[in-house]
Structure 1
Amino acid sequence: MKKRTIVGMSLLLMSFHSMAKSGYYRDPDLHDNQVVFTAEGDLWLHDMKSAATRRLTTNLAQEQQAVFSTDGTQIAFTASYEGATEVYVIPTAGGLARRVTFENSYVYLQQWTRDGKLLYSTNTRVGPTGNWSLKQVDPVTLNTEEVPVADAIEGAIDEASDTLYFTQFGLQVSRDNARYYRGGAQGELWRYKLGSQTEALLLTDAHDASAREPMVAGDKLYFVSNQNGNDNLWVMSASGKNAKALTDFQDFPIKRASLDNGRIIFQHGADLKIYDIAKRRTRTLDIALSGDFPQLRDNWLTKPTKYLTSVDFNADNKQVILTARGRLAIASTDGKRLVEIDTPAASRSRKAILSHDGKWVYAINDASGEMEIWQFAADGSSERKQLTSGASISRWQLVLSPDGNKLAFDDFNGDLWILDINTGDTEKLYSGQTEMSPYADIVFSADSQLLAITTSKLGDERQR
């Protein structure tokens, strides 16, 4: 009887343990041994000593950009509880969140200063689109003052020297996710002595990359840069000299980095990692979420068609290939079952089309890490083939020639290509379409030898 009890308790403990699951963690901040982050749209607290993790918020709106107060007793964050995204403050122990900004626009939370004020950026200033400014708000009195620097979207105040380090421009202004960018919109780091009449000093004039997320500690300025082709941690002197990389991730970019007592916490892929400055070592936090996970339950969809992203009929209109949430399936009018297309695991497909004989499905798929063109068996079997390689930018759409031997496709560069399905050869046919816009029409001639297109060029938006 005693053995049965022990076995039963062991199984019960195993079942409880299995309720904890890993998640997708974002927007971390660190204070001593406490980590706050966003997962499942809510704020969570993780204790690095005990490994305990608890949910802090449960509102239906998404909470992001959490920042600890300097004493760790409060957490500021952004949420759209009442319409626009604003800054709210909640006790670390839990309680009612209180709104402290009223910008009615985009808000990026930056820092909680030692005198109890919150530094944030917003684009509510009158002027051109993307005109950002830094502000400070007292969360008690709600008094707000603007920091006198132009086009600043990020900032960090070194209170020992009363100096502001800030970011001008950067792809975060347009919310672009480009991995490697050079051009007029790349982020620049500046230094400004608060309260002075001296002009701000550019720190990254010799740093040929987009820099962002300044973090200051003593005479060192830590930041995120894409100089090595991906967003990684970097450090330079507070005067902008001797910049060098601290990490060399090539898979996922570093996001939302913040500094606490010689440690930098950041998001990398779905994980949270901490870089120890003194030890020059990075470790991944072992975090598990507990809860009932209602999003993992099977749900009956009463309106499944709202998830469709594209449809394509075969020549006799008796079959249709459906693309929904990155998955592919073929439906028929003859009463046959729905055929799910066997695409690579953990990949997403888009813009699928059927071959004229109904034997093949052609789609743009990201299994290789880039948006390449694939051929899949239409009967649901595992036969499949990647037809293109070496993509450096996303593709828009696929058009099959009447003879079934060629695929025309366009890309985000505004280029038009032709792919020979049998040989795998690709050829660029035309350039000049406005970037980031698909060709309005791509039509083959009946003999598959000619293409007619409708296009618009940059600076001349009239379609021709």
Structure 2
Amino acid sequence: MLKISLLFGLFLLFSLHLQAQTTSPLLIGRVGVNQTQIAFTYAGKIWLVDRNGGAARRLSDVPNEETNPVFSPDGKQIAFSRSNGYDLDVYVVSADGSGEARRLTFQARDDLAITWTISGREIVFQSTRAEGGIPRFYKIAVENGALEETLPLPQAFDGSYSPDGGKMAYNPRDFRFGEWRYYRGGLTAPIWIADLKTGALERLPNQNYNDRNPMWIGDKIYTVSDRTGIFNLFAYDLKTKQAKQLTKFDAQGIRTAAAARNAICFVQNGRIHLFDLQSGQDKTVEVSLSSSDTSEMNPRTVSAMRFLDFTSSSVSGNKIAVGARGEVLLFDTITGESKNLTNTSGSAERYPAISPDNKSVAYFSDESGEYMLHVRSLATDVVKKISIELKPSFYFDMVWSPDSKKLVFPDRRLNLWLVDVESGTAQKIDTSTYSAQESWQPDWSPDSRFLTYAKRLKNRAGTVFIYDLAAKKSV
């Protein structure tokens, strides 16, 4: 045991080689837009590019991470958040990048720039500085950095003022679960309208889907919504109370969006788009980056120790599979050799599990664009790819049967799945009605015929079920 522990300790020093790419599509974060240019985050920095596209340039030369660029109403200034060691603070700088950025907040909590007041004299930011760590909106004066004023919203994550500044369309929930495709659980993200004077609230029509990035322009509130299953751009008319779909992406949806008076800028499939509100047409904004400006993206070797997340040991203990940075790594505790089994920078592999016969390792991969089950032969490296369902969810914590022929695992839709590896078929064997059902604790009988698992009933009582594989039912 000591030998294995020492060898595994050495394995923690196993490093991954990262390859930088500066060609489109890019891993773009938050965006902002004014009448002439677009601000976007990439590689931890804020970049500026003309709305017609072209060469992008860095907003600043500081090494600190920067995010959340937001243009002022007149388009002359940019508010953003910059890391100062262990937290993010709000800064403001000229939109042409000239001069030094001026720091406005100094609390030891993350302050994320969200929007500007209609007058352009104050910046609204989100922070968890309140008691209990509740995310709330605050506003601070741009000129003199006067003490922050709390907006009368109990909890908020993103927002946009009405044209007269008296109301705000905002998200009271974050988008953590909204990033899961087809998520329809109890924490979907709706949009509310709050009257900032009276406190009156109005919820935009929502049938348990995710609406985010509210953008209030005239008598319409534009949102990024997954009501069709994929995040697209919608416009909600405050007069007719009807929503209209403006884009029709059917594979990769919109990740984030921001608005100017006459256009909406959004990111889809790693590319920046500009949607013209008058013509109803969108175009792709071609962006090029100079390699001299992306030195931090150059190929380099980093330790994987900080990123180890899922581990699986073989029955004999001679092999250990580990998930790290979306890769599956295999370590031989006898020879001390290690190997990156997947080595796929363009996809994520998670939750590796070594079969009891020590011949295969199974894991989930989004190589195809959706999660599938991959079973890799340790002898030949041949991978068998198994589709689980038509609209895949997020799967985790798989358990092999003792005969190494079947796998059982849950998903985020509260289902329990059984996969026959040889036939490549998957079947749903049970579904929980308890929203907090996380661990099913599946276990197999020694002959692999029966499967036990724990499931909570409607009254939340924990109950053990036995599934008979031959009869294909729980007994």
Decide: shared fold, TM above 0.5.
Answer: yes
Decide which moves more: 174-183 or 253-262: 174-183
Equivalent residue runs for 1:155-234 within 5 Å: 155-159=159-163, 161-172=164-175, 176-180=178-182, 181=184, 186-190=189-193, 192=195, 195=197, 197=198, 200=200, 202=202, 204-205=204-205, 209-234=209-234
In the TM superposition, what whole-angstrom CA distance separates every residue of 1:394-439 from its partner, at most 9, and x where no partner exists? 2222222222222222233444333222233444445549656653
Counterpart among 112, 119, 132 of residue 114 in structure 1: 119
Query: Which one-letter code corresponds to 2:39 in the other structure?
Result: V
Equivalent pairs: percent with the same residue? 24
Distance change in 2, residues 1:75/1:416 (3 Å):
same
Superimposed CA distance per residue, residues 211-252 of structure 1 (whole angstroms, 9 cap, x where no aligned partner): 333323333332333322233222233446232111122333
In the alignment, the residues of structure 2 paired with residue 437 and residue 32 of structure 1 have an alpha-carbon distance, to the nearest angstrom, of 48
1:377-456 correspondence to structure 2 within 5 Å: 377-386=377-386, 388-390=388-390, 392-432=392-432, 438-439=438-439, 441-453=441-453
The one-letter code matched in structure 2 to 1:220 is: K
Q: Return the alpha-carbon distance in structure 1 between the equivalents of residues 157 and 333 of structure 2.
A: 55
Match of 2:102 among 94, 98, 101: 98
- Report the CA distance shift for 1:361/1:391 in structure 2 as closer, same or farther (over 3 A): farther
Asked whether the equivalents of residues 372 and 385 of structure 2 are also in contact (C-alpha less than 8 Å), the reply is: no
Q: Which has the higher contact order (CA 8 A, sep 6+)?
A: 2
| Kept after mapping to 1: 8 A contact 2:329/2:342 | no
Match of 1:237 in 2: 237
Amino acid at match of 1:138: A
Q: Which residue in 1 is equivalent to 2:318?
A: 318
Q: Aligned-pair distance for 1:138?
A: 0.8
Q: How far apart are residue 162 of structure 1 and its match?
A: 4.0
Q: Please give the per-residue CA displacement for 1:62-113, whole angstroms capped at 9, x wherever unaligned.
A: 2111112234332110123154333111233244332213454454423223
Instruction: Indicate the SS of the match to 2:47.
Output: strand
Cα deviations by residue, 1:157-215 (Å, 9 ceiling, x for unpaired): 344x343232252443x5652344375754133153x65x4x53526247774433332
What is the alpha-carbon distance in structure 2 between the residues aligned to residue 429 and residue 72 of structure 1? 56
Is 2:49 the partner of 1:41?
no
Cα distance in 2 for partners of 1:330, 1:86 equals 41
Contact 1:341/1:377 (CA < 8 Å) preserved in 2? Answer: no
SS at match of 2:161: strand
Give the Cα–Cα distance (whole angstroms) in 1 for the partners of residues 396 and 360 of structure 2: 20
Q: After the TM superposition, which residues 320-335 of structure 1 pair with which residues of structure 2 at under 5 Å, given as runs?
A: 320-332=320-332, 335=335
Distance in 2 separating the partners of 1:53 and 1:170: 33
Distance in 2 (alpha carbons) for counterparts of 1:411 and 1:207 = 22
Instruction: Write the mapping of 1:133-144 to structure 2, written as runs, cut at 5 A.
Output: 133-143=136-146, 144=148
Q: Counterpart of 1:264?
A: 264
Report 1:300-315 matches (<5 A): 300-301=301-302, 303-315=303-315
Tell me how far 1:287 sits from its aligned partner.
Answer: 0.8
Match of 2:92 in 1: 89
Counterparts of 1:333 and 1:200, CA distance in 2? 63
Q: Decide whether aligned partners of structure 1 residues 284 and 433 sit closer, same or farther in structure 2, where only a CA change above 3 A counts.
A: same
- Residue equivalent to 1:11: none
Q: Distance in 2 between matches of 1:182 and 1:116?
A: 39
Q: 1:324 to 1:95 in 2, by over 3 A?
A: same
Q: Which residue of 2 aligns with 1:67?
A: 70
The one-letter code sitting in structure 1 at the alignment partner of 2:104 is V
**Matching residue's letter, 1:30:** V
Q: Is the 8 A contact 1:105 1:124 kept in 2?
A: yes
How far off is 1:50 after superposition?
7.3
Structure 2 letter corresponding to 1:242: Q
The CA distance in 2 between the partners of 1:368 and 1:435, in whole Å, is 29
Distance (whole Å) between structure 1 residues aligned to residue 345 and residue 319 of structure 2: 25
2:35 to 32, 56, 80: 32
| Higher Rg | 1
With 255-264 and 30-39 compared, the bigger mean Cα shift is at 255-264
Deviations 1:294-321 (A, max 9, x none): 44544345x5455443343444433443
Distance 1:150-1:411 versus aligned 2 partners, 3 A rule: closer
Alignment coverage as a number of residue pairs: 439
State TM-score, norm by structure 1: 0.80
For the Cα contact (< 8 Å) 1:412–1:437, is it kept in 2? no
Partner of 2:300: 299
Which of 146, 151, 157 is the equivalent residue of 1:147? 151
- Distance in 2, matches of 1:342 and 1:211, equals 35
Q: Distance in 1 between matches of 2:297 and 2:42?
A: 14
3-state SS, counterpart of residue 398 of structure 2: strand
Distance 1:240 1:67, change over 3 A: farther
Counterparts of 1:6-25 in structure 2, within 5 Å, are 21-22=23-24, 23-25=26-28
Q: Which moved more, 1:38-47 or 1:382-391?
A: 382-391
Q: In the superposition, relative to structure 1, how do residues 433 and 322 fare at CA in structure 2: closer, same or farther (>3 Å)?
A: farther
Distance 1:378 1:79 in 2: 45
With 248-257 and 334-343 compared, the bigger mean Cα shift is at 334-343
Q: Spell out, residue by residue over 1:6-54, the C-alpha distance to the aligned partner (whole angstroms, 9 max, x if none).
A: xxxxxxxxxxxxx964432221111222211111101111124572311
Match of 1:8 in 2: none
CA distance in 1 between counterparts of 2:193 and 2:240 reads: 9
Counterparts of 1:146 and 1:342, CA distance in 2: 48
Can you list the C-alpha shifts for 1:337-390, whole angstroms capped at 9, x where unaligned? Answer: 655546878332222233344433322222233332222222354453326343
